[in-house]
């Protein structure tokens, strides 16, 4: 097979070549450092035991949230991951608000922090419905709110544009 490859490329072999690196090569430094840290936290043992077993180690581990100004700590990796998903995954780093989906975060970023969006909203409908799959677009957030209440049965008290932080 190699001979056929060399003939078709003018004698050069262009396939993969095994070039072993020693275990103390700089190439592995970052991975070795990360593995050592995970070993100290005993994460490998927890991961191999499965999600249900994570709760058994509540007294052995403390998982701290690493986000700035978040002081939450958790007794299991599973609870830490749940916290991240609900509080930080789709978080606006400008104002600190959290959103349940990436799409809602994108809409918030445009509407609350993008001056180009505001300029365009003065000229044409720009406020998209918040419900995934609904194609409606509105001239104002107020018109969108009316649509959400009437068409999608959102509560009257729902306010997508509120400014306070939800952590």
pLDDT greater at residue 49 or residue 15? 15
CA distance 8 to 15: 12
Distance CA 3, CA 11 (A): 8
Residue-range domain boundaries for the chain: 33-87, 102-152
CA distances from 165 to 21, 34, 87, 96, 161 (A): 49, 33, 11, 5, 11
Q: List beta partners, residue 105.
A: none
The stretch 6-20 carries a mean pLDDT of 66
pLDDT score of 58 more than 50: no
Q: Which of the two residues, 14 and 119, has the higher pLDDT score? A: 119
The pLDDT assigned to 121 comes to: 95
Residue-wise pLDDT for 75-112, tens only, equals 888 888 888 887 888 888 888 888 888 999 999 999 99
pTM for the model stands at: 0.55
Over residues 54-78, mean pLDDT: 73
Whether the predicted pLDDT of 54 surpasses 50 = no
DSSP state of 101: S
Q: Which long-range contacts (CB under 8 A, 24 or more apart) does 94-97 make?
A: 95/163, 95/165, 96/165, 96/167, 97/164, 97/165, 97/166
How many Cβ atoms are within 10 Å of 19's Cβ, its own excluded?
A: 5
Provide the CB-side half-sphere exposure for 1 (13 A, CA). 2
């Amino acid at each position: 097979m190699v001979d056929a490859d060399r003939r078709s490329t003018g004698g050069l072999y262009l396939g993969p070549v095994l070039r072993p690196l020693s275990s103390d090569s700089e190439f592995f430094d970052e991975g070795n450092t990360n593995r050592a840290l995970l070993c100290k936290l005993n994460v490998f043992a927890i991961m191999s035991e499965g999600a249900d077993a994570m709760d058994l180690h509540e007294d052995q581990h403390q998982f701290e949230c690493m986000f700035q100004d978040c002081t939450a700590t958790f007794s299991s990796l599973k609870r830490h991951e749940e916290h991240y998903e609900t509080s930080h995954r789709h978080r606006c780093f400008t104002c600190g608000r959290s959103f349940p989906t990436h799409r809602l975060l994108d809409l918030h970023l445009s509407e609350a922090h993008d001056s180009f969006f505001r300029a365009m909203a003065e000229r044409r409908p720009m406020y998209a419905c918040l419900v995934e799959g609904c194609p409606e677009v509105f001239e104002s957030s107020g018109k969108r709110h009316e649509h959400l209440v009437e068409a999608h049965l959102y509560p009257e008290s729902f306010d997508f544009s509120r400014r306070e932080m939800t952590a």
